Amino acid sequence: MSFTTLLISVLLSLLPISELRGGIPYAYFNGASLLLAAPLCILTNALVAPIAYSFLATVHKIFHAHWAWYTSFFDHFVAKAQRRVSPKVNKYGYWGILLFVAIPLPITGAWTGTLGSWMLGLDKRKTMMAVFGGVIVSGLIVTSLVVLGVGIDSVFIKRI
Percent of the residues in the chain that have a pLDDT greater than 90, as a whole number: 51
- To the nearest whole number, what is the mean pLDDT of the chain? 87
Cβ partners under 8 Å of residue 89, min gap 6: 96, 120, 122
Q: Count CB neighbours of 112 within 10 A.
A: 19
Q: What is the pTM of this model?
A: 0.82
| Cα-only R_g, the chain | 17
pLDDT of residue 1: 67
